[in-house]
């Protein structure tokens, strides 16, 4: 079965919002480099998964990467959240965008899982 165009548009729009909020989350170098590398890697695999519409491996790797980055993002944000005395408005905005990116990931996971099922995954 072929994916409906509306579903593809929704996945691209959610991924775009995720990318923008993730980029703003990296803005102040408050989070470690591993946060950026992990999310950029998943974004690259996501582009691969959307471009290759018949690849079950690509969509599986994308879904697995998204699920892993949910866990690592929680760890990064909780460990590297600045103390109350040392948080500026820019850092607060950066953390807020990283949290927004984290909150959007379950929506992305659901949409990618639907894509996985439509491509023949069990």
26-42 pLDDT, tens digit per residue, is 666 677 888 888 888 88
Give the max Cα distance, the chain: 55
Cβ-Cβ contacts under 8 Å for 106 (sequence gap 6 or more): 70
| Both tokens assigned to 53 | 């519409």
Average pLDDT over residues 99-119: 86
Better-scored residue on pLDDT, 5 or 76? 76
**Closest to 72 in 3D by CA, of 107, 37, 44, 46:** 37
| Both tokens assigned to 109 | 């996971």
Q: State residue 68's pLDDT score.
A: 94
- Contact indicator for 53, 97 with CB cutoff of 8 Å: no
């Amino acid at each position: 079965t072929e994916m409906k165009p509306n579903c593809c548009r929704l996945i691209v729009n959610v991924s775009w919002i995720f990318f923008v909020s993730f980029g703003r989350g990296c803005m102040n170098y408050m989070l470690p480099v591993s946060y950026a590398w992990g999310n950029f890697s998943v974004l690259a695999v996501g582009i691969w998964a959307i471009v290759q519409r018949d690849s079950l491996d690509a969509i599986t790797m994308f879904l697995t990467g998204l699920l892993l980055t949910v866990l690592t993002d929680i760890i990064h944000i909780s460990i590297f959240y600045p103390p109350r005395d040392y948080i500026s408005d820019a850092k607060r905005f950066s953390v807020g965008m990283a949290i927004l990116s984290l909150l959007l990931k379950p929506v992305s996971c659901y949409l990618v899982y639907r894509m996985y099922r439509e491509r023949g995954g069990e």
